[in-house]
Amino acid sequence: MALLDIRNLSVSFETPQGLVKAATQVSLALEYNETLALVGETGCGKSVVVNAIMKLLPANAKVDGRVIYRGRDLLSLDEKEMARIRGQDIAIIFQNPSLALNPVYKISEQVSESMILKKRSSRSRAEEISSQLLQRLGLKGRESSYPFQLSGGMNQRAMIACSVVLGPKIIIADEPTKGLDQSMVGQVLGEIRKAKEVNGASLLLITHDMEVARQISDKVAVMYCGEVMEVGKTEEVLQAPSHPYTQALLDSLPERGFLPIPGPSPSMIDPPEGCRFHPRCPWRRDLCSIERPVQKSTTTGWVRCCR
Amino acid sequence: MLWGKTARYAIAFFLIISLNFAIPRAMPGDTLTNLMGEDVHLSEDAMLELKAKVGVDQPIHIQFLNYWRDLFHLDLGYSYHLHAPVSSLIRERIKWTMLLVAPSIIMGAFVGTLLGALAGWRRKEAKSRLQTTGFLLIYCTPPYFLSMLALYFLGFELGWFPLKGFYQSGTIGDIAHHLFLPVLIMTLFSASRNYMIMRGSVIQERQMLYASYARAKGLSSDQILFRHIFKNAALPIITLVALDFGFIFSGALFIEIVFSMHGMGNLIYDSLLCRDYPVLQGTFAVITIMVILANLLADWTYGLVDPRVRWQR
């Protein structure tokens, strides 16, 4: 039994332009101590999936399916029960640390806050632990700084401290390396990996960067237009991809020839019939525009393609 | 930067007070008349004597220095209309106005900010919508009209409250009884403004990423509002409330007139009607000082609450 089991998760948003189908029947499993990378281009629904798991979506979101964590369906919990899960069992690291931290509190206050409020620790004990954690993350002497006094990378580490201070079992990182320069990427990934190992947690990493996924993950899930197209062990998916979209994504990397994927990104309001990738697929057949492909097993996972 | 700001306020103070000196001397007509007020009639001899006493026969720079010296001695001139030194007139009135305005501003700030924050946080609930409508209604009604309604129904028809003045017998209970209605109306009025601003501010701040992140950290709805959003959203209120204190002596004019209370507002109003220039100038100087102090106070508190402001200077 997986630690987190996402089954047929669908999310749509009611908007004036129409119903946006941000995620369609997403099924994923996160095992104990595993790192799963959820990859795909910007706007394919990756963030929506994790925000649905955390129940952080806005009120106009319609969520279907099940998210089983330790035998409980998170989607059926009320806000109070969910608040207990957040931070203690499942923690999330946002992609924009400088805006996610509260501008008017010191970072040490923001880290110790969870301990005081959720674990009923004394203020001095909470401050001791948060200062140790911040030091371990390389923010020694910066505990009393405010977010606006720190660089983006430092804020990123401060937020990692905020998120993992309660020792969560699942750490979700939503594009933690977006907007960082190359030297920072390795450092931040190292911190996240460390936080995961210290807590014995599982990591669900969202990224559009295949290189990041290769560095850190055990398993990769590729999303396109709200659907998971392929899941498998990282080496297999990145070396011998089964889905033409994964192949196209890899070919678009600078070191693999910089080949753009032909055609425009699909509409999420009116997604393509049949296989959602068929309008841009070099292998498309007549069947592809009619029938939604079923999941087919691969060596280490599955793929949603008829080829 | 706080020193820079203080210096700027000092310059503003100097300029405004200098203007206060210059206006009666630059006005067309006799300087003495401009300083005394227009309804003061004196004989030729008395006029000359007074001229020497007030010092308007001296060169202008000496007059200017004397003017500042008098100001630092809290000598704001003499009202020939009311036959009393201006400074003692103001002192007598100020304490009553303080009693009326200070509690109203403080209670209005607390009530408005707290209810406004809750209304912004739960703005879709029917209860908070009703409340918002109520406060909007108060906010839109001129305070003097509200005062007249309260005076008519609660004071005149029901006889629950006295109709005028600050006191009759002078006991604490008596004063409180007299102050109840005007303080209530001023509190409601200031609360309604703070309510509207705080509500809008919370609605804006709740969209911020730090509010979502607080939720992601597992905080409850009340904790997100009061620990994370409140401090950020209350920043505009600080400026407003501090400025309220600046206008503490002139802001209650309508209330004082409707309730026939002899406070600063009425003093200014009466001296305006009688062209009692010394009193007008004196009150003008006092209001200048208060507004500048209030601005300093706003800057100082703002820095205390918002670290970004504190570290910039």
The predicted-structure confidence for A212-260, as pLDDT tens digits, reads as follows 999 999 999 999 999 999 999 999 999 999 999 999 999 888 888 888 8
Place of tokens 């405010």: A146
How does strand A302-304 pair with strand A295-297? Answer: antiparallel
Residue to test with chain A: of B210, B220, B306, most A Cβ within 10 A: B210
Cβ contact, residue pair B218, A87, below 8 Å: yes
Among candidates A83, A99, A166 on the partner chain, residue whose Cβ is nearest the Cβ of B210: A99
State the smallest CA–CA distance between residue A101 and chain B in angstroms: 5
ipTM of the complex: 0.90
List the domain boundaries for chain A: 32-51+83-89+168-304
At residue B205, what is the residue type?
E
pLDDT at B302: 85
State the smallest CA–CA distance between residue A99 and chain B in angstroms: 6
List the domain boundaries for chain B: 2-73, 91-307
A104 within 8 A of A146, measured Cβ to Cβ: yes
State the smallest CA–CA distance between residue B87 and chain A in angstroms: 44
How far apart CA A103 and CA A100 sit, in angstroms, is: 9
Cβ contact, residue pair B209, A94, below 8 Å: yes
Nearest chain B residue to A114, by CA: B217
Residue to test with chain B: of A79, A84, A104, most B Cβ within 10 A: A104
A142 within 8 A of A107, measured Cβ to Cβ: yes
Give just the sign of the alpha carbon dihedral B270, B271, B273, B274. positive
Task: Give the H or E element holding residue B205.
Answer: helix B172-205
pLDDT exceeds 60 at position A39:
yes
Nearest chain B residue to A102, by CA: B210
CATH code for the structural domain at B91-307: 1.10.3720.10
How far apart CA B24 and CA B37 sit, in angstroms, is: 10
pLDDT at B83: 81
Cβ contact, residue pair A86, B231, below 8 Å: no
Q: For chain B, give the mean pLDDT.
A: 85
How far apart CA B100 and CA B247 sit, in angstroms, is: 13
Chain centroid to CA B42: how far? 37
Would you list the DSSP string of chain A? --SEEEEEEEEEEEETTEEEEEEEEEEEEE-TT-EEEEE--TTSSHHHHHHHHTT---TTEEEEEEEEETTEEGGGS-HHHHHHHBTTTEEEE-S-HHHHS-TTS-HHHHHHHHHHHHS---HHHHHHHHHHHHHHTT-TT-TT--GGGS-HHHHHHHHHHHHHTT--SEEEEESTTTT--HHHHHHHHHHHHHHHHHHT-EEEEEES-HHHHHHH-SEEEEEETTEEEEEEEHHHHHHS-SSHHHHHHHHTSGGGT-PPPSSPPPPSSSPPSSSTTGGG-TT--GGGGTSPPPEEE-SSSEEE---
Summarised one tens digit per residue, pLDDT across range B26-68 is 777 776 776 666 666 667 777 777 777 777 777 888 888 888 8
Beta bridge partners of A203: A35, A171
A249 within 8 A of A39, measured Cβ to Cβ: yes
Q: What is the mean pLDDT of residues A189-213?
A: 91
**CATH for A32-51+83-89+168-304, among 3.40.1280.10, 3.20.20.70, 3.10.20.30, 3.40.50.300?**
3.40.50.300
B228 within 8 A of B211, measured Cβ to Cβ: yes
pLDDT exceeds 60 at position B313:
no
> How would residue A28 be classed by pLDDT, with cut points 50, 70 and 90?
very high
> How would residue B271 be classed by pLDDT, with cut points 50, 70 and 90?
confident
- Within 8 A of A145 by CB-CB distance, chain B residues are none
Chain centroid to CA B284: how far? 13
Left if phi > 0, otherwise alpha if psi is -120 to 50, otherwise beta: which for A268? alpha
The contacts of residue A55 (CB under 8 Å, 6+ apart) are A74, A75, A77, A79, A82
